[in-house]
């Protein structure tokens, strides 16, 4: 009698193990299917949604690298100049943080030091803001330069400062905040006072 009870317990245990084997095989199949779907979505071309005139248009994009030509560099430099030279309040931390996606780490540290020096030594507690106008950008194979007028307002009094900058731009990794993958590695600034 004891042997039939042991045999039945052994059979019950085997049926439970077979059931768990089927559940694990099914879960493995679901995981593999999800992995294949996710990988196909990652490596497939993205769907781009463009909104214009109150309508949405859908296009299939491609993941090709962005070709770098003079117009792309000009657009990048213009956006960089706006971020670097336009501010409503001299806050070194937020200004350096807004520049991080488009400058190298070494330049980011130098600019933070410059912003801190301006706040602590040059403008000590004064209300200052700055904007730029008359931006002209020149892109050649040898250099990237820009001329513009800085409008520095100290306690509400505007002071125009004609400025010329030469930029050292390098190519790096593209990311969400810098899809072109260009980075400013150095700035030489010349001001007429």
Whole-model pTM above 0.75?
Answer: no
59 CB-contact burial (10 Å; exposed 0-12 / middle 13-18 / buried 19+): exposed
Per-residue pLDDT, 176: 80
Per-residue pLDDT, 122: 84
Per-residue pLDDT, 2: 65
* Average pLDDT for 134-142: 91
Question: What DSSP assignment string belongs to 130-171?
Answer: EEEEEEEEEE-SS-EEEEEEEEEEETTEEEEEEEEEEEEEEE
- Delimit the CATH 3.10.450.230 region(s) of the chain: 70-191
CATH number of 70-191: 3.10.450.230
The answer, yes or no, to whether residue 80 has pLDDT greater than 70, is: yes
* Average pLDDT for 140-148: 91
Cβ atoms within 10 Å of 165's Cβ, excluding its own = 21
Select from 148, 156, 153 the least CA-distant residue to 192: 148
Per-residue pLDDT, 43: 83
Report the C-alpha gap between 80 and 180 in whole angstroms: 13
Q: pLDDT band at residue 26, thresholds of 50, 70 and 90?
A: very high
Residues recorded for the chain: 193
* Average pLDDT for 104-125: 89
């Amino acid at each position: 009698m004891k042997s039939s009870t042991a045999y039945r317990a052994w059979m019950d245990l085997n049926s439970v193990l077979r059931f768990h084997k089927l559940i694990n095989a099914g879960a493995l199949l679901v995981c593999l299917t999800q992995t294949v779907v996710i990988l196909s979505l990652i490596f497939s071309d993205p769907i781009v949604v463009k909104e214009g005139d109150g309508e949405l248009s859908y296009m299939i994009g491609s993941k090709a690298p962005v070709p770098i030509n003079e117009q792309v560099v000009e657009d990048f430099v213009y956006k960089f100049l706006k971020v670097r030279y336009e501010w409503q309040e001299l806050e070194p931390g937020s200004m350096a943080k807004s520049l991080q996606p488009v400058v190298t780490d070494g330049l980011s540290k130098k600019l933070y030091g410059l912003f801190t020096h301006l706040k602590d030594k040059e403008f000590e507690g004064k209300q200052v803001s700055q904007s730029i106008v008359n931006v002209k950008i020149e892109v050649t194979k040898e250099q990237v330069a820009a001329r513009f007028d800085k409008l520095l307002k100290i306690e509400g009094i505007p002071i125009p400062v004609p400025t010329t900058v030469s930029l050292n731009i390098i190519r790096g990794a593209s990311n969400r905040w810098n899809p072109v993958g260009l980075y400013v590695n150095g700035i030489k600034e010349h001001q007429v006072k």
